[in-house]
Amino acid sequence: MEHSDQIKPFGKMIASENLKLERKKTTVLQVNVGYLCNQKCRHCHLEAGPARKEVMSLETMNKVIDYARQCNFMVIDVTGGAPEMVPYIDYLIDSLTPLAQRFMFRSNLSALGQKSREDLIYLLKEHQAVIIASMPSINEAQTDGQRGSGIFSKSISTLKKLNELGYGCEAAGLELNLVSNPSGAFLPQPQEQTEKRFRKVLKEKWGIVFNHLFSFANVPLGRFKKWLIESNNYSSYMNKLASSFNPCSIEGLMCRNTISVSWDGFLYDCDFNLAADLPMTGKKINVSSMRGLPKEGIPISVSDYCYTCTAGTGFT
Ligand code: SF4
C-alpha cells in the first residue's frame, strides 16, 4: 500500500494506539453506479467525468438487488459519478427503496436539475428518498472554479426546485442534506460553523432551506491527489491529516458498518477503497457470490488516505 514517507503508515498508527479497525454489524449498502458524470470536479476521488464509460449494467443492478433482498439493510445509499445519467437508474431506485428503512440518493445537483431528468426528482419524492447534495461552497466563483463554469447557478436552481417540492422543509418529511468540502489543501472549518453560515446565506439570498450539512475533508485520491502532487501540496496535506489523527474517531468510522459495491459489482469497505481498488478482505469478491452480511470482526482494508477519516472529529 502506498504511503507518504514522511508519515507513519495508517495501519501502524492504529496498531501503535492499540486500536483495531474491524467490521461491526453491517447495516448500510452503498451502491456506486459508475464514474460517468456531467461535471469534472477538481477534488473528485473517483476522477468521474463526462468521458468516463464505467456505468452499472442492468445485469449488475439485478445482482445488487438480489443481494439487498437477502440482507435487510437499514440504509441503502446510491452514489456515482452522477447516478442521474446511468441508464436504468429509475429501475434501480424502484427496486431498492422497498428493501431498506432509509434510501439515500447522492446528487451533484446540476445533473438532477437537467430538464431531461425532471421525472427523476418526482420519482425520488414518491419514494421519500433522502437527497444528499454536494454543495462545496456558497461562493459562486469558488464553486465554479472547483466544479466547472455555471455549476453554481445550476445547483441553486435545483435546490429551489427541491424546496418547492417540499425537500428540506421540516413539515414535508422530505430530507435534503448538503455536503461541503474545502476548495484546496486544507481541512474544513468546524461543521456547525459551516452549517450555520450556509443556512444563513442560502436563506437570505435565495430563500433556500435544507435539513443538515456535513462538512468533509477531501480525500487524497484520484484527481485531488494528482492536483496535490502537481501543486507540491501532497506531503504537507498528508502531514496535516496524520497530525490531526483522533483515536476516538475509529469507533464511528463508516467502513465498520458499510459495504460498498462498485459499478461492476465488486465489494469494498468504503467508496474510497473502491476508488483505490483496495477490496474488502483484500480479494475481489463479486456481489453475486456474497452470501449474507460480511462477518463481524473481519479487518477493514486500510491505506494512508484513511487519515482523512480520522482527522479531527472524523468522517463517519
Ligand atoms: S478511507 Fe475511511 S472509511 Fe475507508 S477504510 Fe479508510 S478509514 Fe475506513
CATH number of domain containing 193: 3.20.20.70
Cβ of residue 253 lying under 6 Å from some atom of ligand 1 = yes
Q: Is residue 208 part of a domain?
A: yes
**pLDDT, position 1:** 41
Q: Is residue 10 part of a domain?
A: no
Cβ of residue 112 lying under 6 Å from some atom of ligand 1 = no
Cβ of residue 28 lying under 6 Å from some atom of ligand 1 = no
What tens digit of pLDDT does each residue of 38-75 get?
Answer: 999 988 999 999 999 999 999 999 999 999 999 999 99
Of the candidates 282, 252, 274, 261, the residue with the CA atom closest to the CA atom of residue 29: 261
Alpha helices in 72-209 (DSSP H): 89-96, 118-126, 140-147, 151-164, 191-206
Closest C-alpha residue for ligand 1 atom 4: 270
**What pTM did the predictor assign?**
0.94
CA of 24 to the centre of ligand 1 (A): 14
Question: How many domains would you assign to the chain?
Answer: 1
CA of 99 to the centre of ligand 1 (A): 25
Which residues of the chain fall below pLDDT 70?
1-5, 313-316
Q: Is residue 51 part of a domain?
A: yes
Q: Give the count of beta carbons closer than 10 Å to the beta carbon of residue 299.
A: 14
**pLDDT, position 51:** 96
Q: Is residue 77 part of a domain?
A: yes
Q: Is residue 182 part of a domain?
A: yes
Q: Is residue 235 part of a domain?
A: no
Is residue 237 within a helix (H) or strand (E), and if so which, with residue range?
Answer: helix 234-243
CA of 160 to the centre of ligand 1 (A): 33
**pLDDT, position 116:** 84
Name the residue range of residue 116's domain. Answer: 24-227+254-299
**pLDDT, position 118:** 85
Q: Is residue 58 part of a domain?
A: yes
Q: Is residue 238 part of a domain?
A: no
Cβ of residue 241 lying under 6 Å from some atom of ligand 1 = no
CA of 309 to the centre of ligand 1 (A): 6
**pLDDT, position 136:** 87
